[in-house]
Chain A
Amino acid sequence: MLSYLGRSTLQKLVTLFFVSVISFLIIHLAPGEPSQIDPLNPKFTPEIVERMRKEFHLDKPLYSQYLLFYRDLFTGRIVSWKDNQPVLGKIWERFLNSLPLFIVGTLLTWTFSFPVGIRSAIGRDGVYDKSTTFLAYLLISIPGFFFAYIMIILVVTHLHVPVIGMETFGVTSASPLVHFMDRTWHLVLPSILGATGGVAVLSRYVRSQMLEIIGQDYVRTARAKGLSVETVYYKHALRNALLPFVTMFGLILPGLIGGSVIIESIFSWPGMGRMAYEAILARDYPIILTVNFLTAVLVLLGTLVSDLLYMVVDPRIKL
């Protein structure tokens, strides 16, 4: 177990190093320069452009830029080119904003997918199964932004309440409960939108897993020896069907830092996705690379967690 952890950590560190090199190269090889350096601004003289490139270390060879960047990242001194704010502080602030959206979205996805998927599997090819399948494909294929606009227009014109941003704009003198509920309300639409795709996909997945398990011999045996349908499906079959989802649970970890560009932009949510997207457009390398690095760390951590979880839930697996 310990030796597995040691080996795995070492492997992951090596992977992380390569990820850092490759992402650094890709971003620097991509055409374009930080938006502060604007070659089409008549007011910019070549001297200014040169001075800015120097300030951003863009005049140095790539390997020394790489070293400078990761030195600054690990010492926490790295600042965004856009506004000179410390990158880690900015990411932390955005992370806290995106976190509730992530939590509620994930809760919705996971709590809805299972009942829907199990029910479809049990009543296979029934009306319920057919209609959820139809709904699932509908939800997968509807473009997120379009769905978001429809929901916003419906809520704003019929319910006359605001849905934009993290809280109702301009409400300051309310009690903590009202404040909390207000924030919760603003989570509703974006997290539903974030969850629809997830529910659609995950419930299909649950359904197929359940179907596979239900077809197993031991389920038939359990039924044959006279156990109630409930016990067979929800106790024996479900437990075994859950196994693959344990691994998936580790893999949602990177979602913590991903955020959704489209939903965050439409709902004016000051989250991670929007910041990263704007950083890419403005070629704000420190932000892009830091987010990239943290995502890589989370992905690797997620695989480690899911390996360990698998071992915990499935005694047949030894690491």
Chain B
Amino acid sequence: MSIRRFLIIAPTVITLVLLASYFWVPTYEEQTRGNPGRLEQFITTSIGDATLLNPILSANSASSQIEGLVFEGLIDRDEDLQYRGRVARDWRIYEHAYFYVNDGAQTASWGVLPGPELLLKLKSALKADPLVGPHLVAMDLLPAETILSDHIDKTDSQARTFAIQANAPERIRITLDHVDQLFFDRLAVFLGKDYFEQFDAAARLVCDPELPPRQLSILAREILPVTVHNPVIDFFLRPDVRFHDGRQLTAEDVKFTYEAIINPENLSPRTPDFEPVKQVEIIDPLTVRIIYKRLYSPAIGTWAMGILPKHLLDSEALSQEADRHGQDPAHFGLRQSDFNRHPVGCGPFVFQEWKSDQYIRLKQNPAYWEGPPNYHEYVMRIIPDTLTQEMEFYAGTVDDYNVQPHQVSRLSKDERFQHFSGASFGYAYIGYNMRRPPFDDVRVRRALGMAIDTQKIIDFVLYGQGERITGPFAKQTDYYNRDIPPLPYDPKGAEALLNAAGWHRGSDGYLQKNGKRFAFTLITNNGNQLRKAILAIAQDAWKKIGIQVETDLLEWSVFIQKRVNELDFDALILGWSMGINPDLFQIWHSSQTGKFQLNFVGYADPLSDDLILKIRREYDPVRQVQYCHLLHQRIAAAQPYTFLYVGRWTALLDKRIVRRVTDNAGHTAILPIVPTKTGGYTFHFNQWIKLSGPPNMAADG
């Protein structure tokens, strides 16, 4: 009897206890409307948790989102994607150009000249030159010197050390007030085309033991480069920027941040951005000078990187922290520091609390130099499931929601929300292995692209949430050449092109050339539904024009390691996500076509190579855009990829969230949130606030 009673009572009691808890839970109503503090709180969601909250160590999106609020860089980009000062109030970009005086060489204008006289002649000539003259700041003659260094040669199995003595001749330094990548071409007008080429650097090197001549001449060009551009950026910092612990941000911190990135022990994923830096000089506590080894225009953008506080992270602070944790200071670096979970920056929000896989909480920084943000609190909740995110958004405990493509048409009509949408930074494409016939023929690649109805893919696979793209630049930037028409959908034209390329339909209905059928394999990675759909669509479209296509879905790492990295594929579907920066070197330069490199389609075009380098070296935005348009045109004509689409994102926001701006006179205005040119809507985030009722914009002017 008692056992039976127990068997019935036990589950009943448990159920009752569990269900009774319902009466204690605050309802959504109490959380959102009954709580005035909620209006000063912005709550957003993220699929994944942050990793390390240190801008130089992490590169994932959740971490970056928090870092962007806690830390601040020297500069960032404004609504029109132009640079604007943040921690730096202003900056100046100029260059030092150097060249070695080539004793005994003929100059085009003045015959053979020794250094001092050459300097004088050149100075007056350059001053009169309409292109160089206005920008010429100074010219000096640097004395000859002897450079001693060690060269370690690792070409053989054992490393050998060579002692090198380089006898550098006199050198002329020209300071310009801007950066001119064509400067030495302009000098060649006076000095002659061969003046620089005839400079024999190898003859000025003394090696012990001797190096073979070929290696010697390579080394000589490294140690004694005849011409050098050293672009310089002077940043002038704001005097009123303080870290969250009250310490003023100075040039020391900027220099420290650079050194932390470069330090190999920190394994910073941002090292390549800062590799071209030659040195960072502190001019005074509020001025820092960055000197670059060579022309590298993306360099300016890299200073949007959050600045770290030196006093909390230098070697002294770290070894003290290691002592506190009872760890060996020798193995205690930036990566081990507690700072990565309790970051201190100088941004508009102060870090408060991080509960792994639950939430990260930030609060307003009242001492922010631009004035404190309107929101008192910023919370990022980690909700890994999109449907759960959506439910929380409807309930009002989350303020924004990133809409899935299939929901856009329904939710963008919803009266309760304001919605924003824009093109993503990235595109999907079909890439052809141009090393393999028949993909080495541009007509074939073009025909393959024309056979696919990309608009249909956008309409049906993406539910209309995509735009066509014709080239490799981010579509919302000026670098993208809008004059280039997308490939038309034209299967007839495609067949005609293939016929011209020598492919004709055989009796079996398939295209043939020299008795061989047009057949290849199209691959992509498993787990991406969009790519899987495109795979089937492309296969079908190409079958219609007589091409036999096999398809294969591979697990991501097999796909990358065995097929892409080893260049073992015919055609593949993939996507690039990218930044604003127009530097395309890794993906399109012909030097990057080897195994394990990113130009895996094997696109090699001398003209494009030249443009890619020019873009990289050009500091003038207008000219950079011109080069980009040319490169875009060039790549679109060659069709190494069939450029498919760039996706569109849509985000919903509670309608009560607006911008509240207070001007100097103390007048408060309520403004609507408007997306910027690039589609971003969070640009004015610091001005956002949630009203208790629906906003009435018209009444507020």
- Footprint of B on A, CB under 8 Å? 30-33, 36, 39-46, 48, 51-52, 55, 82-85, 90, 93, 104, 107-108, 111-112, 114-115, 118, 149, 152-153, 156, 159-162, 164-166, 168-171, 174, 177-178, 181-182, 184-185, 187-188, 191, 230-231, 234-235, 238, 265-268, 270, 274-275, 278
Q: Which residues of B contact A165 (CB under 8 A)?
A: 358, 381
Q: Is the CB–CB distance between A170 and B267 below 8 Å?
A: no
Q: Is the CB–CB distance between B8 and A187 below 8 Å?
A: no
Q: Which residues of B contact A274 (CB under 8 A)?
A: 357, 384
Q: Is the CB–CB distance between B51 and A82 below 8 Å?
A: yes
Closest A-chain residue to B7, C-beta based? A115
Q: Is the CB–CB distance between B267 and A44 below 8 Å?
A: no
Dominant secondary structure at the B interface: helix
Closest B-chain residue to A199, C-beta based? B11
What distance in Å separates the Cβ of B654 from its nearest Cβ neighbour in chain A?
A: 16
Q: What would be 16 A-B contacts, judged by CB atoms less than 8 Å apart? A: A31-B557, A55-B267, A82-B51, A83-B52, A149-B387, A152-B388, A161-B26, A170-B31, A181-B24, A185-B24, A231-B1, A234-B3, A268-B384, A268-B385, A270-B357, A274-B357
Q: Is the CB–CB distance between B560 and A169 below 8 Å?
A: no
Q: Which residues of A contact B59 (CB under 8 A)?
A: 41
The A-contacting residues of B in range 592-636, CB under 8 angstroms, are: 596, 598
- 1/0 per residue B364-408: CB within 8 Å of A? 000000000000000101111101100110110100000000000
Q: Which residues of A contact B35 (CB under 8 A)?
A: 170
Q: Which residues of B contact A93 (CB under 8 A)?
A: 356
What distance in Å separates the Cβ of A277 from its nearest Cβ neighbour in chain B?
A: 9
Q: Which residues of A contact B25 (CB under 8 A)?
A: 161-162, 168, 181-182, 185
Closest B-chain residue to A231, C-beta based? B1
Q: Is the CB–CB distance between B596 and A39 below 8 Å?
A: yes
Given contacts A32-B556, A266-B385, contact A43 B358 (CB under 8 A): no
B515 on interface, CB distance cutoff 8 Å: no
Q: Is the CB–CB distance between A162 and B31 below 8 Å?
A: yes
Q: Which residues of B contact A278 (CB under 8 A)?
A: 48
Segment from B15-23, B80-88, B303-311 that makes contact with A: B15-23
Q: Which residues of A contact B359 (CB under 8 A)?
A: 169
Given contacts A51-B264, A182-B21, contact A40 B560 (CB under 8 A): yes
Known: A164-B388, A270-B382. 19 other contacts (CB 8 A): A42-B586, A43-B270, A44-B269, A48-B271, A55-B267, A84-B336, A115-B11, A149-B387, A152-B388, A162-B26, A164-B383, A164-B391, A178-B24, A182-B21, A185-B25, A231-B1, A266-B388, A270-B356, A274-B357
Give bound CA distance, A83 to B1, whole Å: 57
B252 on interface, CB distance cutoff 8 Å: no
In the complex, which of the residues B384, B392, B556, B561 has the most CB atoms of chain A within 10 Å of its own CB atom? B384
Q: Which residues of A contact B18 (CB under 8 A)?
A: 104, 184-185, 187-188, 191
By size class, the interface of chain B is: 35 or more
Give bound CA distance, A160 to B43, whole Å: 19
What distance in Å separates the Cβ of A111 from its nearest Cβ neighbour in chain B?
A: 4
Q: Which residues of A contact B52 (CB under 8 A)?
A: 83-84
Q: Is the CB–CB distance between A31 and B561 below 8 Å?
A: yes
Across chains A and B, which 9 residue pairs bring their CB atoms closest together, nearest first?
Answer: A32-B557, A181-B24, A270-B357, A184-B21, A185-B21, A42-B586, A31-B557, A111-B11, A181-B21
Q: Which residues of A contact B272 (CB under 8 A)?
A: 43-45, 48
Q: Which residues of B contact A235 (CB under 8 A)?
A: 3
B92 on interface, CB distance cutoff 8 Å: no
Q: Is the CB–CB distance between B397 and A162 below 8 Å?
A: yes
Q: Is the CB–CB distance between A270 and B355 below 8 Å?
A: yes
Q: Which residues of A contact B477 (CB under 8 A)?
A: none
Q: Is the CB–CB distance between B598 and A268 below 8 Å?
A: no
Q: Which residues of A contact B384 (CB under 8 A)?
A: 265, 268, 274
What distance in Å separates the Cβ of A174 from its nearest Cβ neighbour in chain B?
A: 8
Q: Is the CB–CB distance between A40 and B3 below 8 Å?
A: no
What distance in Å separates the Cβ of A190 from its nearest Cβ neighbour in chain B?
A: 11
- 1/0 per residue B257-271: CB within 8 Å of A? 000000010010111
What distance in Å separates the Cβ of B81 from its nearest Cβ neighbour in chain A?
A: 20
Q: Which residues of A contact B38 (CB under 8 A)?
A: 170
Q: Is the CB–CB distance between B24 and A234 below 8 Å?
A: no
What distance in Å separates the Cβ of A60 from its nearest Cβ neighbour in chain B?
A: 17
Q: Which residues of B contact A170 (CB under 8 A)?
A: 31, 35, 38, 41, 43, 379, 397
Q: Is the CB–CB distance between B269 and A51 below 8 Å?
A: no
Q: Is the CB–CB distance between B397 and A169 below 8 Å?
A: yes
Closest A-chain residue to B574, C-beta based? A40
- 1/0 per residue B147-189: CB within 8 Å of A? 0000000000000000000000000000000000000000000
Q: In the complex, which of the residues B14, B264, B357, B555 contacts A275, with contact meaning CB atoms closer than 8 Å? A: B357
B29 on interface, CB distance cutoff 8 Å: yes
The A-contacting residues of B in range 557-596, CB under 8 angstroms, are: 557-558, 560-562, 564-565, 586-587, 596
- 1/0 per residue B38-61: CB within 8 Å of A? 100101000010011000000100
Q: Which residues of B contact A45 (CB under 8 A)?
A: 271-272
In the complex, which of the residues A82, A83, A104, A278 has the most CB atoms of chain B within 10 Å of its own CB atom? A83
B685 on interface, CB distance cutoff 8 Å: no
Q: Which residues of A contact B21 (CB under 8 A)?
A: 181-182, 184-185, 188
Q: Is the CB–CB distance between B381 and A169 below 8 Å?
A: yes
Q: Is the CB–CB distance between A42 and B557 below 8 Å?
A: no
Q: Is the CB–CB distance between A52 and B383 below 8 Å?
A: no
Q: Is the CB–CB distance between A238 and B3 below 8 Å?
A: yes
Q: Is the CB–CB distance between B28 and A160 below 8 Å?
A: yes
